[in-house]
Structure 1
Amino acid sequence: MKGFGTFAIIVGVCWLVFALSMDVSVPTGTGGRVNNMGLMADRQIHTIVGGMIALAGLLMVLLGGKSTSPQAAAETDTRPCPLCAETIKRAAIKCKHCGGDVLPALSAHVPLMSGWTVRVECEPWAHAEATRSVKRLGLPTTKGSAKFVAVGPFASEAEALGARENIRSVSDLLGDIHIVAPDA
């Protein structure tokens, strides 16, 4: 909305410049010039139209704050199904498209500092691709090392086991379950 408002301001100002630079006089037969009432009325109309467009654009810029549309809210609350890649809710445990069981994705707002993780072993040159594969499944990752990707942490061992099975079923990546103790 703000972009359209800026465009309207520019159009309105250009229209005003055009209107105010209009010549409203016509030549007379004796070598002089006289104002024409019809041209003066046209300049007045163009000035009003340009001013209204610029004012509308200014209002759009000032009042057109960020709106949270339902579509934008839905996009942040969804993820691709790890089995069929169709869009599903982030908290879904069963895909409505393929019927497959999936793990609910953890909320990005409350990261766990300790819990169960899945360490997916990988070569240093394949680390980035392994991380992308795990993230495509909607699973959280934490800082690992060049030799493994740490998936999680999860609140329970059962969640970590489910994540490991989910990773195995979709990709050729293998992982081990580990527990991460809270920092002391």
Structure 2
Amino acid sequence: MSVHLLLWLILTGMTAYLANARGRSGPRWFAIGLFLPGVALIAVLLMPRLAKTGVDALVHEDLRPCPACTQSIKAADTRCKHCKAEVEPIALKDRSGWVARFTANSDQEFERLAAQLTLIDIPTILDEAPYAFAGPFEEKAEAQNMLNYLKSTHGLDGLVTWRSVTR
């Protein structure tokens, strides 16, 4: 492989990576970088960062302050990673995270759905009728895997979404 081809691929990859880090479309800027590698890289570097919107803006770890030292810790933690104090974890229903959401069309259907989810050994939130949630999970892929399992094994159809809880 010639040095020019290697340099061209490196510039194109850097352009795509930096574009993605700045809130732009990485694949689109990769394509632009194929034709104008140096120019595209300079253009990306000169563009302002775009704020995340939609679900991307909501996705964050579910954090809370440690009662002992006030440093940020995960809601599920039982021990502070900073001061090592023992803390009470926050209940599932009070945590934000990725969930598989199921919607019931009637009260009777919600009761059947709740009973079915209760029999399956998974974390569930059943206090927001007509919605039932499997989760929350820290990663979207975990919620998607749970939804795929529930769909294939138990015939439950839903969607993966971010559930935000304000404490």
Q: Which has the larger radius of gyration?
A: 1
Q: TM-score range with shorter-chain normalisation? A: 0.3 to 0.5
In the superposition, the TM-score normalised over structure 2's length comes to 0.40
